[in-house]
Amino acid sequence: MPQVDNPEPAIEDDGQQGAFTDDERSVGLARASEEERFQHDREWVKRLGERWRNHHNQDLRLRYDTGKVLNDRFGPPTSRLPRGERVMEMLAEETRLDESALNRMRWFAHRFPDFEKFKASHTDKCSWNKVTLLLVELSQQEKKAEAAKGTSSAKRSKPSQEVQKIVRSLQTVAKALPTEQVPVDEVSLVDVDAGLRKLCLALEASIGRNVTISIAQATECVTS
């Protein structure tokens, strides 16, 4: 009889081959989502680049619109986003502009939310160079105001620190006194009274207020 080869056993699919773990699925979805955003950014940058290549007599308005659309997409220029930086690089390449120029456009739109109102209130700022100088001036004014505010806060906090120093000194004196009553005769009271008067004068000089300290039988009163 002719010999019949035994057929190889079929490979059973146990459901494990080609399967992905939850982490692998998450990574795959994240990569796909990132790639989709990247492609969308490229298309958006390309459209904006076409506007720059075809612009005519709208130089200042186009710069404003560019800054506004960047801020609408990535937030104000006061915060920096990694993805936004990548798009800025692509946009700089597409429009042949420096990233610093694009950042100034963002600040232009950030400081002046309405372009028509800007034109009405800054009739002499009709060129991008003049707007750039204005932005630098505003930035310098803002920094000076912040510095002045910091100096003013420091001056206001200084008296508070000095007051705390006085309080600590008084607390130190109080802690140094005996906790139990000490017999004092009339002669010793004169010395105690002299010491209190010195403390009173020193406290008045420190806080600029009248301070009265008096000694009575088994009582002591301090008023200001």
- Given this model, what pLDDT does residue 183 score? 81
Q: Is the pLDDT of residue 141 over 80?
A: yes
The gap from C-alpha 115 to its chain's centroid, in whole angstroms, comes to: 27
Weakest-pLDDT range from 82-86, 96-100, 136-140, 208-212: 82-86
Neighbouring-strand partners of residue 214: 221
Q: Distance between CA atoms of 52 and 174, rounded to whole angstroms?
A: 77
Q: What is the mean pLDDT of residues 111-124?
A: 93
Q: Distance between CA atoms of 66 and 87, rounded to whole angstroms?
A: 13
For the chain, the average pLDDT equals 76
Q: Is the pLDDT of residue 134 over 90?
A: yes
- Given this model, what pLDDT does residue 17 score? 44
Q: What is the mean pLDDT of residues 174-189?
A: 77
- Given this model, what pLDDT does residue 210 score? 82
Maximum average pLDDT range among 25-39, 98-112, 166-180, 205-219: 98-112
Q: Distance between CA atoms of 94 and 51, rounded to whole angstroms?
A: 11
Q: Is the pLDDT of residue 152 over 70?
A: no
Q: What is the mean pLDDT of residues 95-123?
A: 92
SS3 124: coil
35-74 pLDDT, tens digit each: 777 777 778 788 888 888 777 556 899 899 999 988 888 8
Q: Whole-prediction pTM value?
A: 0.51
Q: What is the mean pLDDT of residues 109-135?
A: 93
Which helix or strand (DSSP H or E) is residue 212 part of? strand 212-216
